[in-house]
Structure 1
Amino acid sequence: MNTITVELIGAPTDVGASVRGAGMGPDALRVADIGGTLARLGFGVLDKGNLAGPATPWVPPANGLRHIDEVVEWNRAVHSAVEQALAAGHLPMLMGGDHCLAIGSISAIARHARQAGRKLRVLWLDAHSDVNTERTSPSGNIHGMPVACLLGQGPQALTGWSGEPAALSPDAIRFIGIRSVDAEEKAAIRTLGLNVFDMRHIDEHGMRTTMTEALQDVDEDTHLHVSFDLDCLDPDYAPGVGTGVRGGPTWREMQLCMEMIADTGRLASLDVVELNPALDVRNRTAEVAVELIESLFGKSTLVR
């Protein structure tokens, strides 16, 4: 029996997204039996239900930012919930909602890791690099900006939440599966020196070598956080996402990715975001998400 309790935190909002529907993500994961699946693996499961926050107004961006006040409010709620989960000794699983929510989640985790004297490693599993700012974003949608905010480069209202100017240093984050990057984001990635394992890297080297590289400095002193955007997967396997991009990892490749993360034994927190049941087929994407999360938490075919 595991002594770890996984705390499920629902954040039902599409406030940072370009299309409606991600707000239904947490309940789609529950319908796909995320709680029962983790319980059968031997984890304690505490489902805290869904956080409350403002409705998405669906108005155009102002000063390059769309829905900034509502994004701040939702992220404050997420930050507080994740902080409480960590303080209770639980493993927080944020169920989004769109990827802007990682600002609140990872800011709380960064503060916790720093106070515990542990090194933070973030694996950003995503088709997109999410390093836009209000100056570079073509759309103003804040789900394309969380990494910039966590690196201290985003709008003032969304930076500094971890108690430091930047929640993350550029060398704390590893991107896996990237294949859609705006021109100005490419420049930012180069300037910041970010570690990006894009689809070409995975094609050339395979998922095994990619994950070996991405995880090489994870040790017993590491708090490992996974920020899992479901559009990381190829849309053939995960159609229920708002911004799908062809040419992503297959279901099998993502299984290997998750299994290798599990093998480290260091997973300490998780975001699962951008699941959009309104665009899904019979909840298939939520079911795929639960299968992959099962592997992330250590399910394997054989005892290894």
Structure 2
Amino acid sequence: MVKGWQTVKKKVSIIGVPMDLGQTRRGVDMGPSAMRYAGVIQRLESLGYEVDDRGDVEIGRPGKLDVKNEKNLKDLDEVVKANESLGNAVSKVVEEGNFPLVLGGDHSIAIGSLAGVANKYENLGVIWYDAHGDLNTGDTSPSGNIHGMPLAVCLGIGDSSLTQIGGYAPKIKSENIVIVGARSLDEGEKELIREKGIKVFTMHEIDRLGMTNVMEEAIAHVTKKTDGVHLSLDLDALDPHDAPGVGTPVIGGTTYREAHLAMEMLAERDIITSTEFVEVNPILDNKNQTAEAAVGLIGSLFGEKLL
């Protein structure tokens, strides 16, 4: 059973990862700045947390963008280097006893986040709040975009240059994962979900059962045998009406209110021990709406209440 983290207010260490190399739509590298501008530090401080902003991980740039290698992996070397740096930074935060809050950047950064936290726990659980499964590999990906692969990578599936970031694999076990909000899955991902028995709540289940029941089941599943839970939240899980500034929008997502409820329930259960918020793209946004939505959700995750 996961031990509580928020019971005693502690220090939150923010790490920005201005990475846009895991996909092809430029602009998501400005996501960390957009969330800072939307007041994430002030929001957390108002809730009683001490906030330590550690700045941004340095991201290298290839001579030419979006180049696939022979393994169907775009910009692989730079993605690996960035995630190695992120993993080291996150590992240091955890060793110091702080809560790592990672701001992306595209979802490929989850590889580094989990590399930095998973070896600190005997059995880490993961809630993957996302429209996509991110369970592709170079063999199954239609695009070669690594932001569609991080969950598979953390399961130890994929190219070794990715799976071995942090020096160990796998980072997590399939029975400790819950995907919430899925509504766009590639065929290879569907096969892997069935093969590994990964728990998935698609939008069908959310519509049919309601977010309350879905999150109750998700929390029960992900805390069954774990001693920590990582939340990986992609803003494209929300409907594009509420989060227009994402690189891969899919209509029919969760509402802003449903996402808040999910975060509020996680806060009430006090189970989240690390998190990342990713895929905020200000270039595609409307007056920083998506970054503001992200900061609002962060507030709810960290215990913000109306009364």
CA distance in 1, matches of 2:281, 2:93: 25
Q: What is aligned with 1:30?
A: 36
Whether 1:46 aligns to 2:52 is yes
Q: Which moved more, 1:57-66 or 1:287-296?
A: 57-66
Partner of 1:8, secondary structure, is: strand
Q: What is aligned with 2:87?
A: 79
CA distance in 2, matches of 1:90, 1:25: 22
Whether 1:167 aligns to 2:171 is yes
CA distance in 1, matches of 2:53, 2:195: 41
Q: What is aligned with 1:286?
A: 291
CA contact (8 A) 1:2 1:44 kept: no
After the TM superposition, list the runs of 4 or more consecutive aligned residues in structure 1 that deviate by more than 4 angstroms: none
CA distance in 2, matches of 1:59, 1:255: 35
RMSD: 1.5
Partner of 1:55, secondary structure, is: coil
CA distance in 2, matches of 1:219, 1:171: 10
Task: Report the AA paired with residue 77 of structure 2.
Answer: D
Identity over aligned pairs, percent: 44
**What are the superposed Cα offsets for residues 233-285 of structure 1, whole Å, 9 maximum, x if unpaired?**
00100000000000000011101100011111122111111110110011011
CA distance in 1, matches of 2:266, 2:288: 25
**What are the superposed Cα offsets for residues 146-187 of structure 1, whole Å, 9 maximum, x if unpaired?**
011001111110113355431111011110000000112111
Q: What is aligned with 1:246?
A: 251
CA distance in 2, matches of 1:91, 1:186: 33
CA contact (8 A) 1:110 1:162 kept: no
Task: Report the AA paired with residue 10 of structure 1.
Answer: G
CA contact (8 A) 1:7 1:45 kept: yes
TM superposition score normalised by structure 1: 0.95
CA distance in 2, matches of 1:299, 1:158: 36
User: Structure 1 residues 182 and 221, CA, compared in 2 at 3 Å: closer, same or farther?
Assistant: closer
CA contact (8 A) 2:12 2:100 kept: yes
5+ residue gaps in structure 2?
1-6
Task: Report the AA paired with residue 62 of structure 1.
Answer: N
Whether 1:206 aligns to 2:213 is no
CA contact (8 A) 1:228 1:273 kept: yes
CA distance in 2, matches of 1:243, 1:128: 9
Q: What is aligned with 2:263?
A: 258
Task: Report the AA paired with residue 262 of structure 1.
Answer: A
Partner of 2:210, secondary structure, is: helix
Whether 1:61 aligns to 2:65 is no
Task: Report the AA paired with residue 9 of structure 1.
Answer: I
Whether 1:269 aligns to 2:262 is no
**What are the superposed Cα offsets for residues 119-145 of structure 1, whole Å, 9 maximum, x if unpaired?**
311110100000000000011000000
- Aligned with 1:190 (options 167, 190, 194): 194
CA distance in 2, matches of 1:150, 1:166: 6
CA distance in 1, matches of 2:226, 2:101: 21
CA distance in 1, matches of 2:251, 2:48: 36
